[in-house]
Every structure is written in C-alpha cells, then in structure tokens.
A and B are shown apart, each in its own frame.
Chain A
C-alpha cells in the first residue's frame, strides 16, 4: 500500500460555498429580533433546467454587535438549490455561511451568514444572496409535437420569508424572451399592499411591492399568507439534463500528458415529443429556417486550450460530424483568453424526451496544468471538475482523478465539498501495483460549479522508474527463460543401432 492512502483522512477541505452537508455547530443568536430588512428584491432569472435566483436584502441592525445574519429558505427551494453564495453587494468575495440543522419535515431552513464586521445599532448592509435552483421548471403542456413551441412553468412562493420583519419586498420573475404566457394573480394580499399586486412588462413579471411583512418564518404566516405563484413562459432553448457525467482524468509524467475523458448521458428534458419524429417535416423546417428551438441539433463545448487527440464517440463508434477549433496553449498561470471549441453534431436531432450518450476525450500537456515544488517535492495539478454543457444541469457527476503509480501524500483542495470522496485503485498500462485514484461524486451541478480541484502529491524518483524497470525485468526474464530452454535437451535418445 502506498503511504499516501493512509494520509487520506487528513485531506484538506476548504469549503468556499455550501449548503449541502455542512454540519453546523455554531448556535446562532436566537435572541429576539436583531435585524430588520429595509428592502428585499428577489430576481428570478428563468431558464431551462437551471434557474438563477438573486435576492438583494438591505439589512439594518437593531441591536449592537451583530455579526450573524440568518437567511431563510422555503424547504422546497432549499432542496432544489445546488448553489448558494452570499456576498456583500458590490464585493467579490463570498461570506462564510453555516447551515442550521433541520428536521426532515421542516417547512423552511435557515442559513447563518457571518457578516464581514460586527454591526452596530442602525448600521446597514446590503447582502446579495445568490442561489441556483435545478429541476424547478417543468414543461407544460408535457407533450409538444415537432412543430409546437416549448412552454415551461415555474412555481415559487409569493413572499420571501425571513426571520426578521421586512419593510418592503418585491419579486421579479424574468424570462429570457418577452413571451410570458400566463402568471398567477395572487389573492389575499390586502394585508401588505393596496396597489397593483402583479405587473407584467416585457419579459418581466413583478410581484409587489409588499410592505410591512412581519416575521414570516412561522407556521401562522406560512399558513395564512404564503401562497405559490406560477409563471408559464415560452423558452427558446432546449431544456437539457445530463443524467450522468463521468469524468476520468489520468496524469502521466512519462508522457507529460494529462488525459481527460468525459462520458455523458444527455437528455432533452423539455416537453416530450408528441406523436413521432418526421424527417420530412424536420428537413422542411431546416429548409425554411423555421426549426423549433427546443430541438438540440448540435452541442458546443468549451474545451481547454492547447489540447490534442480530441475524440468524440458513442457506444457504437466514432461520430464523424464534429468540428474542432483548438486554441493555442497558454502558459500555466496565464489567464485563458480563448478556449478550444468543439462543435459536435449529435447522431440524430435530440427531440423532447430523447436521450443521447457520448464520450469526449482529449490529451493536454501536463506542464500546462501541473507545477512542481522542489522544496517540498510536491506536484500540484489543477483539474477542472467538469466542462460546462450550456444551460444543462448535471444530475449525477463522478470525477475520477488517476494519479501516477506510486504517488503518496495525496491532498486535494476542492472548491466545494463533494457528496462522497474515496480513494480507489486504478490499474492500467504496464502497472505493477496500480495507481491511486481519487473518486468524487457530486449531484445537481450547474455551470456555476465548473471550477477547479487542486491535487497535490509526492512522487519519488524511484516511482518514476518503476515502469521501465518492470518492463525490462519481464523481458530479461523472457530472454533468460529462452536461453535456458534452448540449452536443455529433452529428446529421447535414439536407439543404438544394432551392429
């Protein structure tokens, strides 16, 4: 067993942002009302399978020495959110957050935000809470024929709930194109507004403003006032879901190469195809330029610059209809200006409800992503978790990082924690003891999760030479064996001829 395997429990996690599986120890201030929300604006940017929700909260401290602000989420949205980041407005760095434990049947959940500084009485701060929800839209109607439009619907709660009273809040729901079909007009809102409850202008549906909303994280409010609102809208892009995304990264020091291979199972999660696919109609649509937008014809992937040996195939062989523009490699540490673009045509147009699987892989120069610290003798490799498939959510993601044979003292630095993480063994070409492989599993990744993992490991020079030594030994053994065998005479001696 390599030494590195034992060091695993000490793997270093730096959680930059998380709402999932973060154990919470700190007890937040439970004493009375510490804050007041002067204004809340929630902006929902509707999409296909991914919906961005940005909530800007102007907070005002009602007590002294406040450094924990608690944000609340309806349970349904918390379960659907795969990304949460809280920042002070106009600042880049996210704030530290801690999710509070909750019961399985809880109606809402809470997250403590550690403010950058302690707030005095009446001090104000603008917080931006950004979440990305997945699988929150569904096609309605569920079936659409080849010539129909794609309509989706999105349901959310009318009020932004908070454990603090809110002076005024509003919710804006934005579609990509100004083609909103319908929206709910809420009733029973007289307590908070007298004016127009809902207004539509272009691609935006605005609910509110609602004023003087009391503390809403209690059963009474949720039962009496909270209500769902639904927006139906035309979406002019295919709704894509990646049911499974498996990435395997293999590091080779001998070849100075890093190989990346993605196995993707793709699904068009838009309205299911009504009736059947007709090639005549499809070709007619192409000819007239009137193709419906929710059919996926081809896919463009941004691959790293300076890659080579790019391949694209599926379970039954190579897919010959792809175009690749490779951008020149950039030196390590330099910003990537231009990425390689792989434009791949699927074998067949992906209609609603259809599946497609493919494998894409490439080689890249290891020097472009790896560094060597001669002081500590450690290699440091930067590995992207995934390649963004535009507009798609990745339901299941598996990342396997195969380190060189004999790598020890393995450490990983992840931008956000994985569901599971374990160390595996991978045996490939001419290995003798197998290579350590780090396995990560993720769920519901969005384009915002396309970040890098850093892996550090040590590799002694003896391990570098393990492979050639093994191969030489085998060949030497073979030659020696033949050498011995050729010199053994096994023939039965001929009978002496009678003289």
Chain B
C-alpha cells in the first residue's frame, strides 16, 4: 500500500506499544505539570494567599479541622458568624474540601513534613487540576481513544473556563469538585460499559465524595438518571445498565445521606426525585424483561398496557400527594432561576445580587473556551456517528451543560469539561485522518473501490480505531469516505460519472490541515496563558496597579484594615458590613460579623441593608440592638476601585425593600430623571443614608475643602460633605478603600447624639425662639 511519507518498517509491535505507553505517561505527566504551573500565576505575581471571599471561610474551617481535629469541626458552632444567631458550621457546610485538606495535612505531618495548612489550601486546586486532567483523559479514552484522551487532558489542564475557579489560592469547593465530577462520570461510563457492580459501587463512592464536596452534586444526581432514561427510551436497556445504575443509586444515595448538610434531601427534595424515578423505572423494565421471557407475547402486551398505566398513575399520584403534604420539598427559587433568568431578580434579589449568578455574556464563552467552543459542536456530532452508550452520555451532558452555562456564569464550569472532551474528539479525529499516511488506492477496478465506501460506520469500526497505530494499519478509514461518498451521491444522482477514489493525496494537503490544527492549538495555549495571567489570577484581596516606572504597586488596603481590626479592637467587637466581606472579616480580622457570604438568612441581610440605607436616626437603634461596635464600608471613589459599596448599594436597598417595602423604597434613591447619583443632584434619602454618609465622610477634606471627585462614578460631590452623629471614624486605610466607623454608645447624659455633638462642637443649642432674626425684623 502506498504511503504519503515513509514509515519505519523494522519496528516490532511490542516496541511500538511500549513506546506509545511510555510517551502517554510522559505526556500525562507534562500535562499535569502544565496544569499546575499555569495556576501558579497568582502565587508568583502576588503571594501564597487565599483569594476572594468564600475561600476565606473554607480556609478558616480547614484551620479548625487541622488544629482541633475532625470531631471538633463536626460539632463546630461558630458564635461569631451571623451575630447574634451564630452558625452551626459542621452541619451547614460541604465538608469534602476541608476534609481533603485535613487528610493531606495530617498525612504530611505524620511523615514529618510540617507544611503550613495555608499552603496546602492554596495549592489544593492546582493539585487537583492535575487529577482532573487525568480523569478527563480516562473519560475521553472511553469515548474515542487515548490520543483523544491526551488532547482532552491537555485542554482541561489549561482551559481558562476551569482555571478561573482553580487558580492557586482559589480554595473553593469547585477546586476538587470538577475532578470528582469527571471521575464519577468516568466510573459511571465504565460501570455501564462492562456492567460491573464494582464500578457502580466506585461510582457511588466518588459520588459520595462529590456530595460531600460541592452543592453542584445535583448535576451528577440528574445527569446519570437522565442518561439511563435516555438509554431506556432508545431501547438500549441492558443488564449492564441495570447493574451499574442500581449499584450506583442504592449505595450512592445512602452514602450521600451521611453528609449532615444533605441529610434526607435525597428522598425529600424534587431535585433528587428524577434519580429515584429512574431507579424505579429500571426495576419495572427489568421486571418486564423477566416477565416477557416467561410468558407469551399476547399476554405480555395486555400486561404491559395495564401495568404501565397503573404504575404511572400511582407514581404521579404519590408524588403529587407527597409534594402537597410537604414531605417532598417544592422546587426552590434557585431552581426556578435556572429556567427563568428574570425570576431571581424579581423574587430573590439576594441570589441575583451575586455577579456569578448572572446570565453568561457571549464573549465570555470565547474568553473561557477559545477555539474549543467551535470545535465542541463538531465533537458532539462526531459522537452521533458511533453512538455507543457513552456517546449518548456526552451528548446529553453537552446539551444540558450548554443550557446551564448560558443561564449562569458560574455554571460555565460544568460546561468546560464536556467542551474539552468533545473538542478533543474533533481534533483527534481530524488528526487521525490527516496524519494517517496511507494513500487512497488508485481505482483499478470498480468493485474493489466501491467496497470500502459502503462499509457502514459500525461501533466495531470505531473500536478498531482505538489506537492510532491500528488506524495506520487499517485501510483508509471509512469515516471521511462516508461523508464524501454521501456528498458525492447527492451531487451525482445518476451513476453516469466514473466513481473516483476519495481520500487525501500527497503530503502537502495533509500538511496544510495539520499545520492549521497545530496553529490553532498553539494559539490556544497563548490565549489560555494570557487570560489566566491577566483575568483570573488576581486574589482580589490584594489589588495591583502600576507605578509610573512600570513596576508593580500593591494596593493592600483590605488587609491593612482587617489587620488593624484584628490587632487593635476587642476580640468580641461586632463588625457590621455588607455580606460580601463577612468571610474575609472572620478570616482576616477574626471578629464577629452580622452577615456573611453564607447568605442563609435573608432577613438578617435585609436588616443590614436597612441600616445602611436608612438615615442615622433609624439606623442607630438597629445598630445598638445588634451590639454593633464597628461598621465597615468599602469606598473606591478615591482611587477608582469600582467594586465598592456605593455601587453595591442598590442591591442592599432592594434586599431591604423586599422585607420592609414600606420603609425602604428603591425609587427614593433615584433622581427625578431616574439616575443613580451621588453628587449635588442626589436625592435627600440618598444623602441622608448611612452608607452615603460613611462613604463620603470627610472626603472633601482631602481636596482642601473643594468638592471631592468621585473617580468611580465620575461625579463631583456636593460642596457640603456629610456629617455623622452616631458614628466615629475609627480607621481609614491608606487609599481609603476600607473605612471603619465605631458606633457611639448612648450619651451618658441622655442627650441624643445630634445635640451632644453640637454641644461638643461648641455650638449653642438652638433656642425655640430665634432671637437674632426677630430683632432684625424689628429693625
């Protein structure tokens, strides 16, 4: 057979196999290295620090677990969070992440490697990303072959969509969850492929780990049943599916109920009903199969009809009744917001106020996935060509995840793995075809040439492509021939023209495609590196700016203020701030907070929102009743930091309005023309609100008495700055980003703060009779 380029002929198959396996291992190791290394930008550019908001809580909880042990963590009641309510931490977290770090910590200490718990937390996500790459490799290998697997591993290793949640320091549940997601899926595929109860059980074990680690486990809880359901509907019910699903569901559900935060949800909430329903359905189908093998066809038809109707009706009735009785929880708001993107904004502003719950913008698909996003559909279509059970899984996964990724930014994370898998299948198929050296044979006789194209794309054919070297030996693969053949048959309906041999001729045509693919891959690497280093590696606790000479200047206001709180205020001083900063204050300042990022109690958050958006007279009793000692606001107007509290203020108002619609009205904060202003035109409600006052208190003084300039909103402030009666400015950070105010105690002479302030300010109390004016009138 002619080849496009010479191949060595004196190599034994064993050598080829060994070399390929060695190269695979080395490649996987390199991919792991690249995955870890590209996540270290944050550590190199900044430092080994925990990022953002939620990770600070996870870090704090992990420290408790590492220093005090697991039981202490399990029973941890944190009185400093949600003051004065407190929080039962052990029962309200997914402990998987902390437990993982705790195990690593204890293991390292047991072998006398005293690694700091912070470094374990910081580097956990990069470490697990290497495992994710491996799990993706295993999964894709099941889909196509190991070369596709390696491509998928490389993609998932550096794709920004996944890096965004797993850079070093981003110590969040997602850090380990994506690995667990991929590995559980791999085990599931393996389980139904070989019908093994062992793999089903392993799936359940990793499912349990996933449940313990991330609230997104519901994705698996619904993906696997959906896959099973589709297979049944496609008439692909088999004992392998039965064994795999049943062992997963039974063990997985029981195991997942051991996580305290999950508890009885798997049998009570609607999200989990699908899995239960499919489990039931599988039993019925299996039973039907059994019955069918024992009775005649006619009887069976009758039995089937009655059986299906009865069981369907009973099931629906029971489900309805249980929902009605409240045994099964109705759908939650978060669930509705998955289907109606406007729902959250209307009914649950607290969910909508989180930026990662917003619908995804189109550019972010390209930013997060680059060229994978247009290879992804091709990969999904390629899955249709063989359509084994596992390909059905990828197709369902692709459809579901695409939808969810469009609804919520953060669900981009669940889409990314399947995009990598599908794109890897595409690229790998492309390269398989174009690197394959075998030249199409010049048609000598018609019968020979027509034999190959008519070869249907059966699964067995796909299996024969399991490794590239096999593909090399095989005759020209039928894949491209099928398509071209189909086109050919369409264009030339009559068989008037002599059928030409299809295929790729020569080295140049191969090189063009391969070089193009290589170029895309190389450009993808540059894109990923650029996005990772510029967009996803900022800890957001520390801000970076550039000095005039180009060197990096660190703006460290958050830690400055938090550390001040930690060192110079009483241990039990209660700090009130917007909930975004709750975890950071608890983690870095070690002080009790009113609300934090857990957001379980909407009323409590609304109370803080109300205090922030009311005037001083209304706010003071709220502050005092909650024992607030310090109020912390984030203020970006001086250096133009746009993520400040004035910009978040509308959400505070909306959330407060949700609970006190009579007292707080969003419209009061907008000017007559409907603008959100902080300058002279700002509404009186705005100007008298505590948030406005705290933000701009003495801001004008910085400008030598002239009106200050708000660099975030590009507005000139009023000439007369706000005054504060119930609060004292206690600390302001270097760039004014964090401002901390101390709440005054009740005046010891029983005066209200306004008159007490006026007295200390040397002003006389206004008499009821304005004497001078009357005298002037008399003149």
Chain A interfacial positions (CB closer than 8 Å to B)? 275-280, 283-284, 314-321, 347-348, 353-357, 427-432
Contact indicator B563/A429 (Cβ below 8 Å): no
Category for how many chain B residues contact A = 20 to 34
For this complex, 22 residue pairs linking A to B, each with C-beta atoms less than 8 Å apart, are: A276-B731, A276-B742, A279-B734, A280-B701, A284-B701, A315-B563, A315-B566, A316-B559, A316-B562, A316-B588, A317-B542, A317-B559, A318-B49, A319-B556, A320-B556, A321-B554, A347-B559, A347-B560, A348-B733, A354-B564, A429-B112, A429-B114
Chain B residues closer than 8 Å to A283, beta-carbon distance: 702
Contact indicator B729/A429 (Cβ below 8 Å): no
Chain B residues closer than 8 Å to A317, beta-carbon distance: 47-49, 542, 559
Contact indicator A316/B563 (Cβ below 8 Å): yes
Question: B730 in the interface, Cβ–Cβ < 8 Å?
Answer: yes
Contact indicator B554/A427 (Cβ below 8 Å): no
Question: B698 in the interface, Cβ–Cβ < 8 Å?
Answer: yes
Type the 1/0 row for B564-578, where 1 means its CB is closer than 8 Å to any CB of A.
Answer: 101110000000000
Other than the given A275-B728, A283-B702, 20 more pairs (CB < 8 A) read A276-B742, A277-B731, A277-B732, A278-B698, A279-B736, A284-B701, A315-B566, A316-B559, A316-B562, A317-B542, A317-B559, A319-B556, A347-B563, A348-B733, A354-B567, A355-B568, A356-B567, A357-B567, A428-B112, A430-B112
Contact indicator B567/A277 (Cβ below 8 Å): no
Within 8 Å by CB of A347, from B114, B556, B702, lies: B556
Contact indicator A348/B112 (Cβ below 8 Å): no
Chain B residues closer than 8 Å to A432, beta-carbon distance: 112
Most chain B CB neighbours (cut-off 10 Å) among A279, A354, A427, A431: A279
Within 8 Å by CB of B113, from A275, A276, A316, A430, lies: A430
Q: How far is the CB of A252 from chain B (nearest CB, A)?
A: 14
Contact indicator A280/B698 (Cβ below 8 Å): yes
Chain B residues closer than 8 Å to A316, beta-carbon distance: 559, 562-563, 566, 587-588
Chain A residues closer than 8 Å to B587, beta-carbon distance: 316
Which residue on A lies nearest to B739, using beta carbons?
A: A279
Contact indicator A348/B554 (Cβ below 8 Å): no
Q: How far is the CB of B17 from chain A (nearest CB, A)?
A: 18
B contacts with A: majority SS:
mixed
Type the 1/0 row for B713-734, where 1 means its CB is closer than 8 Å to any CB of A.
Answer: 0000000000000001111111
Which residue on B lies nearest to A430, using beta carbons?
A: B112
Most chain B CB neighbours (cut-off 10 Å) among A277, A348, A431: A348
Contact indicator A280/B567 (Cβ below 8 Å): no
Within 8 Å by CB of A318, from B47, B702, B730, lies: B47
Chain A residues closer than 8 Å to B559, beta-carbon distance: 316-317, 347
Q: In whole angstroms, how far apart are the Cα atoms of A54 and B561 in the complex?
A: 44
Q: How far is the CB of B480 from chain A (nearest CB, A)?
A: 40
Q: Contacts A280-B698, A320-B554 hold; do A348 and B728 have CB atoms under 8 A apart?
A: no
Q: In whole angstroms, how far apart are the Cα atoms of A275 and B742 in the complex?
A: 11
A contacts with B: majority SS:
loop
Chain B residues closer than 8 Å to A356, beta-carbon distance: 567
Q: In whole angstroms, how far apart are the Cα atoms of A432 and B110 in the complex?
A: 11
Q: Contacts A278-B698, A278-B732, A316-B588 hold; do A355 and B47 have CB atoms under 8 A apart?
A: no
Which residue on A lies nearest to B558, using beta carbons?
A: A316
Contact indicator A348/B731 (Cβ below 8 Å): yes
Contact indicator A429/B113 (Cβ below 8 Å): yes
Within 8 Å by CB of A428, from B114, B556, B562, B564, lies: B114
Chain A residues closer than 8 Å to B736, beta-carbon distance: 279
Q: In whole angstroms, how far apart are the Cα atoms of A277 and B731 in the complex?
A: 6
Q: In whole angstroms, how far apart are the Cα atoms of A354 and B564 in the complex?
A: 9
Type the 1/0 row for B677-718, where 1 means its CB is closer than 8 Å to any CB of A.
Answer: 000000000000000000000100110000000000000000
Within B655-683, the residues touching A (CB, 8 Å) are: none
Q: How far is the CB of B551 from chain A (nearest CB, A)?
A: 12
Which residue on A lies nearest to B559, using beta carbons?
A: A316
Which residue on A lies nearest to B589, using beta carbons?
A: A316
Q: How far is the CB of B721 from chain A (nearest CB, A)?
A: 11
Most chain B CB neighbours (cut-off 10 Å) among A280, A284, A321: A280
Q: How far is the CB of B753 from chain A (nearest CB, A)?
A: 15
Chain B residues closer than 8 Å to A315, beta-carbon distance: 563, 566
Within B568-599, the residues touching A (CB, 8 Å) are: 568, 587-588
Within 8 Å by CB of B702, from A280, A357, A431, lies: A280
Type the 1/0 row for B42-76, where 1 means its CB is closer than 8 Å to any CB of A.
Answer: 00000111000000000000000000000000000
Contact indicator B729/A276 (Cβ below 8 Å): yes
Q: In whole angstroms, how far apart are the Cα atoms of A427 and B114 in the complex?
A: 8
Q: In whole angstroms, how far apart are the Cα atoms of A120 and B631 in the complex?
A: 76
Chain B residues closer than 8 Å to A357, beta-carbon distance: 567
6 interchain residue pairs of minimum CB distance: A279-B732, A318-B47, A320-B554, A355-B567, A280-B701, A316-B588
Type the 1/0 row for B338-352, where 1 means its CB is closer than 8 Å to any CB of A.
Answer: 000000000000000
Contact indicator B112/A431 (Cβ below 8 Å): yes
Contact indicator B560/A348 (Cβ below 8 Å): yes
Contact indicator B701/A427 (Cβ below 8 Å): no
Q: In whole angstroms, how far apart are the Cα atoms of A241 and B562 in the complex?
A: 22
Contact indicator B563/A348 (Cβ below 8 Å): yes
Q: How far is the CB of A355 from chain B (nearest CB, A)?
A: 4
Contact indicator A347/B729 (Cβ below 8 Å): no
Q: In whole angstroms, how far apart are the Cα atoms of A354 and B568 in the complex?
A: 6
Q: Contacts A280-B701, A316-B588 hold; do A427 and B112 have CB atoms under 8 A apart?
A: yes
Q: How far is the CB of B120 from chain A (nearest CB, A)?
A: 15
Contact indicator B730/A277 (Cβ below 8 Å): yes
Q: How far is the CB of A109 from chain B (nearest CB, A)?
A: 38
Chain B residues closer than 8 Å to A355, beta-carbon distance: 567-568
Chain A residues closer than 8 Å to B588, beta-carbon distance: 316
Chain A residues closer than 8 Å to B730, beta-carbon distance: 276-277
Contact indicator B728/A347 (Cβ below 8 Å): no
Q: In whole angstroms, how far apart are the Cα atoms of A432 and B49 in the complex?
A: 31
Most chain A CB neighbours (cut-off 10 Å) among B111, B113, B563, B698: B563
Which residue on B lies nearest to A429, using beta carbons?
A: B113
Chain A residues closer than 8 Å to B567, beta-carbon distance: 354-357
Q: How far is the CB of A223 from chain B (nearest CB, A)?
A: 44
Q: In whole angstroms, how far apart are the Cα atoms of A454 and B588 in the complex?
A: 39
Q: In whole angstroms, how far apart are the Cα atoms of A279 and B728 in the complex?
A: 13
Q: How far is the CB of B704 from chain A (nearest CB, A)?
A: 9
Q: In whole angstroms, how far apart are the Cα atoms of A277 and B564 in the complex?
A: 11
Q: In whole angstroms, how far apart are the Cα atoms of A64 and B563 in the complex?
A: 66
Q: How far is the CB of A267 from chain B (nearest CB, A)?
A: 9
Q: In whole angstroms, how far apart are the Cα atoms of A319 and B112 in the complex?
A: 29
Chain A residues closer than 8 Å to B47, beta-carbon distance: 317-318, 320
Chain A residues closer than 8 Å to B113, beta-carbon distance: 429-430
Within 8 Å by CB of B564, from A280, A348, A427, lies: A348
Within 8 Å by CB of B563, from A276, A278, A280, A314, lies: A314
Q: In whole angstroms, how far apart are the Cα atoms of A314 and B564 in the complex?
A: 12
Most chain A CB neighbours (cut-off 10 Å) among B556, B559, B567, B729: B567
Most chain A CB neighbours (cut-off 10 Å) among B542, B588, B732, B733: B732
Which residue on B lies nearest to A320, using beta carbons?
A: B554
Q: In whole angstroms, how far apart are the Cα atoms of A353 and B570 in the complex?
A: 13
Q: In whole angstroms, how far apart are the Cα atoms of A280 and B699 in the complex?
A: 8
Q: In whole angstroms, how far apart are the Cα atoms of A348 and B730 in the complex?
A: 13
Chain B residues closer than 8 Å to A321, beta-carbon distance: 554, 556
Q: How far is the CB of A17 from chain B (nearest CB, A)?
A: 35
Chain A residues closer than 8 Å to B563, beta-carbon distance: 314-316, 347-348
Which residue on B lies nearest to A317, using beta carbons?
A: B49
Chain B residues closer than 8 Å to A431, beta-carbon distance: 112
Q: In whole angstroms, how far apart are the Cα atoms of A432 and B733 in the complex?
A: 47
Which residue on A lies nearest to B584, using beta carbons?
A: A316
Q: How far is the CB of A302 from chain B (nearest CB, A)?
A: 25
Which residue on A lies nearest to B728, using beta carbons?
A: A276
Q: How far is the CB of B199 from chain A (nearest CB, A)?
A: 15
Which residue on A lies nearest to B699, using beta carbons?
A: A280
Chain B residues closer than 8 Å to A348, beta-carbon distance: 560-561, 563-564, 731, 733-734
Q: In whole angstroms, how far apart are the Cα atoms of A356 and B563 in the complex?
A: 8
Q: How far is the CB of A353 from chain B (nearest CB, A)?
A: 8
Q: In whole angstroms, how far apart are the Cα atoms of A427 and B113 in the complex?
A: 9
